[in-house]
Amino acid sequence: MNADILKRVVRAIADGSQNDLDRLADKIVESERLTGHVRLAAQLEAILKQPRPKRPSASPIPPIADIERTLKELPLSRRHGESLATLLTTDALEHHMVLPKAIEDRFARIEAEYAARDRLRTFGLKPRKTILLYGPPGCGKSLGAKRLAWSTGLPLMKVRFDVLISSYFGESATNLRTIFIAAKERPCVLLLDECDFIARSRTNSKDIGEASRIVNSLLQLMEEYDAPGLLVATTNVESSLDSALFRRFDDVFMVPLPGPMEIGKLLRMTLSTVRLAEPIDWGALVEHLSGASAAMVVKAAQDAAKAAVLSGRQVVTQANLLQAIAEQRRTNASAHEE
């Protein structure tokens, strides 16, 4: 057992973190198998599969020690000591998505490979760990990262680019490396949301200084990426990304705008907790929302539900929905004009 794993085992015991101990036990088994100690690895695996005594149910509020430990583990900027990322635990993540079957299958495959990562490695196969999601604004790329975190049971660590980028020579690249080190030490879904902010093509950029350095640093870190969790990057404008970056991802796919079937499902799902007046012409609503993003569909349904509650009727009507859709259309049109 190497010194790094040993230190993490002792830290997990000191903190009383059973989840960390379980993950480290799996890592020890994997390490022994890779070093050729196949018999020992099998014996350790058999021990882990033995029934365990039931533990008392966990408190809904995490202990103060766990909260403090989580905050201490967040990567900090070199100069000002600010958090370079925000952390969301699995119980705080949105994860319901309505997607075309082909895209749903892509997400499900990533989740299945992560769940079977140890089994895949026994055959010399690597699970998909780095994913690039692209598509128009509001289509659900960030939600996709949250869904992957929820499905794998990992916390989500979202990079704060406002803190990451520094005007000082080489500091942005140093901050980025600090984030990748933190992701390696603590299994998580590392989210680079709107990554074109730091990954724009070096050939099209007029800034050949710090911007170019951070792209080079990102390319190197992606090449060396071997963290125990997942890395998810998102972008609205994949054409602006450095072409060399695409080869670093295990999977790259588009999250599209919802079609008629997905719009109908999103409306019904969002309105499932409120009463609906009869009849609701779903076909007309879907037609009015043609070309809308998933975020807009959900927002319109939520606004209609809130209007019904505030009116005192507590029943959502066709008129409520049409008015909410029209308001969203006007808001989007104004935003595009600016």
Query: What tens-digit pLDDT sequence spans the chain (338 residues)?
Result: 555 566 566 555 655 567 667 776 777 877 777 676 777 777 777 777 776 655 444 444 444 444 444 545 678 886 667 899 999 988 889 899 999 999 999 999 999 999 999 999 999 999 999 999 999 999 999 999 999 999 999 999 999 988 888 767 678 888 999 999 999 988 999 999 999 878 876 665 555 566 778 888 999 999 999 999 999 999 998 777 888 888 899 999 999 999 999 999 999 999 998 999 988 999 999 999 999 999 999 999 999 999 999 988 889 999 999 999 999 999 888 766 65
Amino acid letter, 209: G
In residues, how long is the chain? 338
Under DSSP, is residue 235 helix (H, G, I), strand (E, B) or coil?
Answer: strand
**pTM, to two decimals:** 0.75
Q: Which domains does the chain have, with CATH numbers?
A: 3-49 (no CATH), 64-254 (3.40.50.300), 260-337 (1.10.8.60)
C-alpha dihedral sign at 139, 74, 22, 123: positive
Q: Which of 146, 156, 137, 251 is nearest to 196 (CA)?
A: 137
Strand order in the sheet with 251-254: 85-88, 156-159, 189-192, 230-235, 130-134, 251-254
Can you read off the two tokens belonging to residue 230? Answer: 């997942």
Can you read off the two tokens belonging to residue 175? Answer: 């901050």
Q: Are 13 and 21 in contact (CB under 8 A)?
A: yes
Q: Are 143 and 97 in contact (CB under 8 A)?
A: yes
Quote the Cα angle for 298-321-96, to 5°: 20
